[in-house]
Amino acid sequence: MYGAVYSTTDILTKYRLHGSNNWYGRKSKKEFKEVKYFFSELNNFLNLKLVAIGKEPVFSYLDSMSAKGYYRYYFGYQSYNQLFDLALKVLSWRTNLITINFFAKTTLLAMYFKFKCSLAAPES
């Protein structure tokens, strides 16, 4: 949050999916509650760090560009409202090439998901 940042081009970890440990394919209420709790604790921790250095406690993971994956994973095609709201929030922070690109891609994804949902909706 505030201090030196170090980086490397070396690969320090790997991600592997196979058979019984393919967690990405499973969505349970318990997992959803655990993830919501994790993000709540992460927000609290990082906001406390901001307060400790005299800054406003403004951190919210679910309002960050990283939350796009969270909404897509947990809400699938039903995530179009969350994705569109997220695109607008990110663009409101600062207008630059990164946020404009994120806004465009996320808005298109939200529109695609809304279209997919409208095709799947039963006719009255």
Look at residues 86, 74, 39, 81 and name the one whose alpha carbon lies nearest to residue 59.
39
Q: Is 80 exposed, middle or buried (0-12, 13-18, 19+ CB in 10 A)?
A: buried
Is pTM beyond 0.75 here?
no
**What tokens appear for 78 in the block?**
């039903």
**Is the pLDDT assigned to residue 9 strictly greater than 70?**
yes
The pLDDT, as a whole number, for residue 78 is: 87
Q: Tell which wins on pLDDT, 39 or 100.
A: 100
Give the pLDDT score at 62: 86
- In this predicted structure, the answer to whether residue 117 has a pLDDT above a threshold of 50 is yes
**What is the per-residue pLDDT for 22?**
46
- Kindly state the tokens that stand for 65: 């560009």
Do 58 and 47 form a contact (C-beta atoms < 8 A)? yes
Mean pLDDT value of segment 31-49: 87
8 Å CB contact between 106 and 83: yes
Spans of all domains in the chain: 25-59, 74-124
| Residue 102, pLDDT score | 94
**Residues 54-110: pLDDT tens digits?**
999 988 888 888 888 888 888 888 889 999 999 999 999 889 999 999 999 999 999
Output the CA–CA distances (angstroms, integers) from residue 122 to 35, 102, 114, in the order listed: 32, 32, 14
